[in-house]
Amino acid sequence: MGVIQFTEPAVKQTTVTVQNVMIGKRQLTQRVFKQILHQEIFDEESNTLQGDAWGYVNYFWKGASGHNNKHILWITSGGELRRHLVIKDLEYWKGHKYEHAAIYLITKLPQLFIAV
């Protein structure tokens, strides 16, 4: 294996956007996040999403399924906050009736951050 040669070391500054979940003026905490009701986001009748997906939160607690899943935060048509756990393995969704909706949830939503 070859050695990579650098002529001049450099550090570049960049700007990133961090999207925090807020309730009023306060950032959503882990404790409150765990209390958000779990509800299927998939609509059985139309095979579409039954609300507006905000993004995903990469947070799992002891005893929760984690490594292969994403918590999707979404809003019901009545304006209520919900979370849905979706399997993030794209192969799992091949040929599934929710394939297109699942691919959107897994690949297109932004990551959201909650307070520790």
Residues 6+ away with beta carbon under 8 Å from 65: 85
Q: What is the C-alpha separation between 19 and 114, in angstroms, rounded? A: 9
Edge-first strand order for the sheet with 81-87 is 19-20, 111-113, 51-57, 69-76, 81-87
Query: In a structure prediction context, what are the per-residue pLDDT tens digits for the chain, which is 116 residues long?
Result: 667 666 777 778 888 888 888 888 999 998 999 899 999 999 888 888 999 999 999 887 776 665 678 899 999 999 999 999 898 889 989 999 889 999 999 999 999 998 88
Q: What is the largest CA-CA distance in the chain?
A: 61
Look at the pTM and tell me if it is higher than 0.85.
no
Q: Is 115 helix (H, G, I), strand (E, B) or coil?
A: strand
